Structure 1
Amino acid sequence: MSSSISPQSIDESNLRDWLNTQAMALGFDGLRITDTHLGPATDRLKEWLEQGCHGQMEYMQRHAELRSNPELLVPGTVRVICVSMNYLPPETDFDAEWQRLENLSQAVVSMYARGRDYHKVLRNRLQEFAQRIEERIGKLGYRVFTDSAPLMEVELARKAGLGWRGKHTLLLNRESGSTFFLGEILVDVPLPIDQAIEEHCGTCTSCIDVCPTQAITAPYQLDARRCISYLTIENPDSIPVEFRKAMGNRVYGCDDCQLICPWNKFAKRSQLPDFAQRHGLGQATLLQLWSWTEQEFEQRHEGSAIRRIGYSRWRRNLAVAMGNALASGVEKGAITEALKSALPSADPLVTEHIEWALGQNARPT
């Protein structure tokens, strides 16, 4: 990655205003710039990996050195342009989300995943943004990323001043809470950098207290092996029995630590049609989603982040939620029949979770 642009040729004040304007025009809600030095964060990552808190996300261990240094990921990088994009659809209501979690006949999909795959949405816009920058200042070396490479993007965004790291480890911002995606453009041009901002969590521990599986083991420390988002998405194997009851009706991800966070009272809604919910995922019942064939799963989740977990993990997650519904006396007849009828054609992973779910039918309500 190499650029012919000299630092002296950059009109810093005019360029920065222009960058902000272009970012907003492309649908981004925030933009800040930082250098590539991650400091103590690299040691914290190493310790976290040594403790095994990444579970079976082996790619994090495999690319740990690259994560610690963006210059190794993309040689020549001297700056990282960090952007955020809000994702909540206009109709999102946090009170309604809590109510869905209490109604165990419902299937709860994490709010970020109900629309189009954010990787595609952000990547396309980041690429266009980088091309516009090149048209403005001349040819430069760059690469764009959004949760798609060994890059400590939350730490870079924190260092750039897009927000501060909350006690749940997500990035928080006073104007938009935590309900936004992050994206990066790694460039070889020495753009002016921004400063980190002050933290505003204070003594609040709501996110720690509300976590169903106590995955937030201490402020700013997350054990992914206990996290429902990890268990339902990244985990390829059987869901540990000790966490199944706590999953409730969460079938893809978990939003509890965001729903409870006081700063998300200010969470801004997105007007981008890409993030509007699809196929009724904000209102679907467990039985409705269980009725989908594999072909329907593939078709309806085309262009969705959910599709990458595959049909088997999807059914595994649903089976656990259906077992929890049975244990609470919800739609026992219909759910029992649906689970039993699926047994003959289920693969071993799903079979084990169906059998566990049916076993919950005998539990006292």
Structure 2
Amino acid sequence: MTSSARDYSALAAKIKTWGKELGFQQVGIADTDLSAAEQQLQEWIDEGFHGEMDYMARHGTKRSRPEELVPGTLRVISVRMDYLPENRTTVRERLDDQTAAFISRYALGRDYHKVLRKRLQQLAERIAVEIGPFGYRVFVDSAPVLEKALAAKAGLGWIGKHTNLINRKAGSMFFLGEIYTDLPLPIDAETTNHCGSCTACMEVCPTQAIVAPYRLDARRCISYLTIELRGPIPEEFRAAIGNRIYGCDDCQLVCPWNRYARLTEEADFMPRHGLDTAGLIEFFHWDEATFLQKTEGSAIRRIGYECWIRNVAVALGNAATSTEIVDALRARTDDSSPLIREHVRWALARHSSNERQPHRAGHPASSTS
């Protein structure tokens, strides 16, 4: 069938059906006009809100102009896949337990990059079986792609005040992926914003990183501090981190729309190696070989062992004082890593201070140490 004779509306419908058969909860199609998002991105970078994430500015307009990243791109097929492995009440209980190590729920299972990329490739191959060879490229948070802006254009949801994508029927706890393609498929309508006057996400943020509606200062965000930042965590934010050692889910847990968040049906997203139940001390005792073994195939591995122990040291400094915690920290005061030594000594100082103010892991009394 020639391109001119092809029924692209019928093909788009089939693509959505095939996507759901592959485990995606929703599939939408967008054009490549991201001019509004491009302006917002540049303003965000100009403010320095990206911190040390230099890659956000490195690729210029390729991030906001899909046809520059992949020449010939006409449409973007955007997909989402639920990842929540347990109900929000259980997640909150874990977060409120000072001795428990809290890991953002998206990272408990297999690396989502691998899971979604494989499914997207299968979807592209299924399209090729139907129509023959066509131009495409698959992305899962793996290149300069404005995935949330594209997903919003494709009708998968709206970008909330916390800057995450929200779906009215499924909340925000899902992964996104894209297929850039040269197929002139019909595009889907954008949805409307339903945040209204709600500011729950802004109010709950432990470090007040959501500096204005739809405006996130990554330099204050716990996800940035525990995952992206490679050097010392600024002291002003350490107490507020509580027991969060990899990422932060607070703004999503409090979002009213996440009452509709659906538990994942993907076995790959189920917790592995006890990452959902381990205590802080257990993780602190891991050597590098154990870290690499327990995080094999996990998104967590990319932060590296040194930052892992750095994060756990901070969380131990925020826990209630006990002999076991103090002894564990003291055992690392002469660690070979200056980064680890700094955070261990800070944690020990927290436990030795007579003026220390009590706080809960989920709701610190102050955002300063």
Alpha-carbon distance, 1:9 to partner: 2.8
Q: Which residue type is aligned with residue 335 of structure 1?
A: I
- Name the structure 2 match of 1:344: 334
1:176 and 1:291 map into 2 onto residues whose CA distance is: 38
1:13 and 1:48 map into 2 onto residues whose CA distance is: 37
Q: 1:212-271 CA distances to partner (integer Å, 9 max, x unpaired)?
A: 000000110000000000000000110000000000000000000000001000001111
Alpha-carbon distance, 1:15 to partner: 1.7
SS of residue paired to 2:162:
coil
Alpha-carbon distance, 1:5 to partner: 5.7
- Name the structure 2 match of 1:358: 348
Q: Which residue type is aligned with residue 255 of structure 1?
A: D
- Name the structure 1 match of 2:187: 193
SS of residue paired to 2:211:
strand
1:43 and 1:13 map into 2 onto residues whose CA distance is: 31
- Name the structure 2 match of 1:147: 141
Contact 1:31 1:82 in 2 (8 A): yes
Structure 2 alignment gaps of length 5 or more:
359-369
1:225 and 1:136 map into 2 onto residues whose CA distance is: 46
- Name the structure 1 match of 2:325: 335
1:118 and 2:75 are equivalent in the alignment: no
2:217 and 2:31 map into 1 onto residues whose CA distance is: 28
- Name the structure 2 match of 1:253: 247
Structure 1's consecutive aligned runs of 4 or more residues displaced over 3 angstroms after TM superposition are: none
Alpha-carbon distance, 1:139 to partner: 1.0
Structure 1 segment 1-365 matched on structure 2, within 5 A? 6=3, 8-89=4-85, 92-325=86-319, 328-329=320-321, 332-363=322-353, 364=356, 365=358
Contact 1:323 1:356 in 2 (8 A): yes
1:155 and 1:357 map into 2 onto residues whose CA distance is: 40
Q: CA RMSD in A?
A: 1.2
Q: Which residue type is aligned with residue 113 of structure 1?
A: A
Contact 2:222 2:248 in 1 (8 A): yes
Structure 1 alignment gaps of length 5 or more:
none
Q: 1:135-176 CA distances to partner (integer Å, 9 max, x unpaired)?
A: 111210100001111011100110111100110000000111
SS of residue paired to 1:238:
coil
Identity %: 55
2:155 and 2:65 map into 1 onto residues whose CA distance is: 19
Q: 1:260-303 CA distances to partner (integer Å, 9 max, x unpaired)?
A: 00100000111111000011111111011111110010011000
1:115 and 1:358 map into 2 onto residues whose CA distance is: 32
Q: Which residue type is aligned with residue 20 of structure 1?
A: K
1:265 and 1:288 map into 2 onto residues whose CA distance is: 32
Q: Which residue type is aligned with residue 332 of structure 2?
A: A
2:95 and 2:212 map into 1 onto residues whose CA distance is: 25
Q: Which residue type is aligned with residue 14 of structure 2?
A: W
Q: How does the TM-score come out when normalised to structure 2?
A: 0.94
Judging by fraction of residues, say which structure has more helix: 1
